[in-house]
Amino acid sequence: GENVEQHPSTLSVQEGDSAVIKCTYSDSASNYFPWYKQELGKRPQLIIDIRSNVGEKKDQRIAVTLNKTAKHFSLHITETQPEDSAVYFCAATPPYSGGGADGLTFGKGTHLIIQP
């Protein structure tokens, strides 16, 4: 099955600086890579996703890059703000197999702390 590694586990940056979170995956068949943000005590919410036919996707201050050859993808947050403080999870999933346990395989999360 798929295995997703996420680094770092904790990231502290000054407000206004950029933050980068990296993930690697094991299953070369995976083709969908979402990123979820989870604030303390709240449910995970999708912030951006990328499919394997795209190398980069941007949404305002958030961008995701994907390197299929190296099997890694990254989340980039620019001009960080206090409300960006949360736990961020990356995930990967292969195409529908019709029989496997095909949920999302999540990384263990990165606790992003924005220092004022």
Residue 116 as a binder of another protein (CB under 8 A): the answer is no
DSSP 3-state of 47: strand
The residue from 20, 32, 68, 72 that contacts another protein (CB under 8 A) is: 32
Tell me the closest approach of the beta carbon of residue 87 to another protein, in angstroms.
Answer: 9
Residue 112 as a binder of another protein (CB under 8 A): the answer is no
DSSP label at residue 93:
B
Range 35-94, binding another protein (CB under 8 A) = 36, 42-46, 49, 51, 89, 91, 93-94
Instruction: Decide if 71 contacts 25 (C-beta within 8 A).
Output: yes
Residue 109 as a binder of another protein (CB under 8 A): the answer is yes
What whole-number distance in Å separates Cα of residue 58 and Cα of residue 34? 13
State phi, psi for 48 to the nearest 5 degrees: -165, 155
| C-alpha count within 13 angstroms, C-beta hemisphere, residue 38 | 16
- Residues contributing to the site for another protein (CB under 8 A): 6, 30-32, 34, 36, 42-46, 49, 51, 89, 91, 93-96, 98-109
